Structure 1
């Protein structure tokens, strides 16, 4: 065991632990969720520490030997060699100070080892005086959240783009499959299955554009602002050099915030990002719900499409296969939507120069980005790609529906069309049969009016025929 001391007293730590007394106390205080701090956030903080030590070296504030040891320790952490040392709970008081100090301690103790010392000998490398030099949790943590969010936005945007392409492929594949449209879950006018999928693709396209635009909002960072954004204890040269270094290290086009005090106080940018993630979740949920409805059955439901069968559905009902992928996407959407509420509450709870609720905000935002990326990928690969159209069922439901009568409305008028509708409803006739029996149209004329091309495009169906009809009338 080794002994470390802080303001509150002395504590023993295991010799093998790279974290120190600050982390130990925090671990005892914040056993809340059973989930650890998101590793993407840890990596982002480590990258900030790398930028800081390079900058401090250039300003002659640390030795080259110390700089090299710290950089090596950071690189090892980024490679995943010390993941088990980051033990703190995702939720914590203190505006993220516990997480920042945990990273400081792990880097310091590994650097001490690399310099030939024993863990806990902070005369060689100190968590605060060296690793945290020219910094505060209040500029490190919000900057790290932005970096982590940007890193997660990249793969999410790629998966959203892939999903859009898959939906567009289905739009083309199903372009000529005429089916019944529905409003308020009741029969409406005809539509093609391809047109339905075109709407899904367009909604996801909007989400793709939103994610692209919102990334710009996250690139303004307050690194160098220290405690409240004024930059106290950070040399002016450091403030501008450290942003340049973090750009180089992360590969992100980060920029120095024009008003670091604002950037330290206010977290509304994360509310904006979360709101756009919620919009994506809403669209995914709508599509998933539609697919569950359209594939319902196979005998007692709509059954116009067939979803890929990915697993057996029931422990008691033989032959049952459930729409488990859309169901999972529904739950992903619910999670993201509820996370947005937590993010909103956290962001609005800042007071004066600081918002102490950043651990909750960070945890929920990074969770939403991660689960959406995974969900969108699964949705596209394990569901959308394998959807098949049941053309026979589409035609069957359409032929039995009153929706076809809407195309006849301009020809026959609302009153007569309603009479035919009643006749169809109380009898066993189909729409085409009931219309032909009245001798109102020839079979060829009715075929023109009720063709897929005519019924699913703007204007009056078979407009040339309609003009001739009106002349005769």
Structure 2
């Protein structure tokens, strides 16, 4: 065990982690700042030690204490023992060894002073594994859960839009093209369209998660399986599926799984496109609620907080504005993931830490802001029916009907003359 620079007390990590800390920047997000990832790694190690035990690769006593330590991490324990940066020197190896060393030290403690046994981070905790297969497996477990969480938040938002559609049945508003009056649009149809788009993205997040359910655990180095006993892959993945409750399966083509990471790009692209639609919807809400005197003022958003430090009584669309700004970072993160996926070595994808550091916080942000949008904005918005009726008093519906009878040019001419006469009267 070493001395923790952060806590000045004995730490469970060992020499490899200490070297990584010495050679990496002192600032930036660390593993302990992403506990869901650390828990996923603990689950991967628990699955591996169970498989090793099943196959007789580890003795019963060592397997038991390593499993106890891994279970502790998988439950969220020992989180302060993971100081390595998300993007550190050594990449995924640094993370894997931080976990191995902590589990080895904790398992040694659980031996209760049995001097005849030692727990080595490489020989025992990392047995039948490599950073090449444990890191992407933990990453996929993390991202699948996050994708499902985003999908669930989106479905709640869709239900909120549907409630608004039901509450405003029979209410019409002026539709516009190029910001000019067009035809009457039912408010219910507007919200049904919102819901349809949101539901579509919920489906797409679940589809993207499906791509990540095939995990490379057991592929060890470059998908070859070197260093792992026969049957380890199937056993370890089966254990991991049982531990996580996810329908995980071994990668169909181990070499493909190590070389290509397009599943990450698919999830990132879904997040970016979803962010674009949320931007559009929130921007539309800001326009339709503009006012109260100098804008459209067709709908009113919940008045949550003062909107100005100098203008008393001013209230701004705080939640839509927050969501819009969050979408910038989400789309930027997706761009970074795409760049990482496009690069790498001929035989492996080595930029997993960049994916985790960029995409995981983006998905957390997406799920969080969608939930706030639902609870603090859409649930409480109200359409101003008198204002809607006044603005929708002269739509082009009647002109379209007349054109079907008299022809487009005839009606357009009458409309132009009416417009000019009205201008002259002014």
TM-score interval, normalised by the smaller of the two chains: over 0.9
Structure 1 residue 253 corresponds to structure 2 residue 256: no
Q: 1:329 aligns with which of 305, 323, 327?
A: 323
CA distance in 2, matches of 1:420, 1:240: 77
Structure 1 residue 64 corresponds to structure 2 residue 60: yes
Is the contact between residue 229 and residue 263 of structure 1 (CA under 8 Å) also seen in structure 2?
yes
Q: 1:112 aligns with which of 89, 99, 108?
A: 108
Is the contact between residue 312 and residue 321 of structure 1 (CA under 8 Å) also seen in structure 2?
yes
Is the contact between residue 32 and residue 91 of structure 1 (CA under 8 Å) also seen in structure 2?
no
Call closer, same or farther: CA 1:32–1:359 in 2, change over 3 Å: farther
* Unaligned residue ranges in structure 1 (runs of 5+): 4-10, 430-473
CA distance in 1, matches of 2:171, 2:271: 33
Is the contact between residue 104 and residue 121 of structure 2 (CA under 8 Å) also seen in structure 1?
yes
CA distance in 2, matches of 1:160, 1:32: 37
Structure 1 residue 285 corresponds to structure 2 residue 279: yes
1:267 corresponds to which residue? Answer: 261
Call closer, same or farther: CA 1:172–1:28 in 2, change over 3 Å: same
TM superposition shift of 1:368? 2.1
CA distance in 2, matches of 1:161, 1:254: 24
Call closer, same or farther: CA 1:310–1:44 in 2, change over 3 Å: same
Is the contact between residue 275 and residue 331 of structure 2 (CA under 8 Å) also seen in structure 1?
yes
Q: Report the count of equivalent residues.
A: 420
Is the contact between residue 117 and residue 124 of structure 1 (CA under 8 Å) also seen in structure 2?
no
1:384 corresponds to which residue? Answer: 378
Q: How does 1:87-166 map to 2 (within 5 A)?
A: 87-117=83-113, 124-166=118-160
Could you say which structure has the larger radius of gyration?
Answer: 1
TM superposition shift of 1:276? 1.4
TM superposition shift of 1:190? 1.5
2:411 corresponds to which residue? Answer: 417
CA distance in 2, matches of 1:250, 1:392: 54
Call closer, same or farther: CA 1:404–1:295 in 2, change over 3 Å: farther
1:54 corresponds to which residue? Answer: 50
CA distance in 1, matches of 2:27, 2:323: 24
Scaled by the length of structure 1, the TM-score of the pair is: 0.84
Is the contact between residue 19 and residue 109 of structure 1 (CA under 8 Å) also seen in structure 2?
yes
Q: 1:356 aligns with which of 335, 347, 350?
A: 350
Is the contact between residue 40 and residue 74 of structure 2 (CA under 8 Å) also seen in structure 1?
no
TM superposition shift of 1:122? 12
Is the contact between residue 95 and residue 355 of structure 1 (CA under 8 Å) also seen in structure 2?
no
TM superposition shift of 1:419? 3.9
1:267-299 Cα offsets, whole Å, 9 max, x none, are 111111111122211211111111011001111
Is the contact between residue 214 and residue 249 of structure 2 (CA under 8 Å) also seen in structure 1?
yes
1:86 corresponds to which residue? Answer: 82
Call closer, same or farther: CA 1:428–1:257 in 2, change over 3 Å: same
Q: 2:223 aligns with which of 209, 229, 235?
A: 229
137-146 vs 208-217, which moves further: 208-217
Is the contact between residue 402 and residue 421 of structure 1 (CA under 8 Å) also seen in structure 2?
no
1:165-223 Cα offsets, whole Å, 9 max, x none, are 11111122223111111122222222111111111111112112212222221111111
Structure 1 residue 243 corresponds to structure 2 residue 237: yes
1:109-152 Cα offsets, whole Å, 9 max, x none, are 1111122359xx99611111111110000000111111111111
* Unaligned residue ranges in structure 2 (runs of 5+): none
Secondary structure at the counterpart of residue 293 of structure 2: coil
Is the contact between residue 150 and residue 202 of structure 2 (CA under 8 Å) also seen in structure 1?
no
2:175 corresponds to which residue? Answer: 181
CA distance in 1, matches of 2:56, 2:373: 53
Call closer, same or farther: CA 1:416–1:218 in 2, change over 3 Å: same
Scaled by the length of structure 2, the TM-score of the pair is: 0.92
TM superposition shift of 1:15? 5.3
1:198 corresponds to which residue? Answer: 192
Across the aligned residues of Structure 1 and Structure 2, the Cα RMSD in angstroms comes to: 2.4
Secondary structure at the counterpart of residue 392 of structure 2: helix
TM superposition shift of 1:28? 2.5
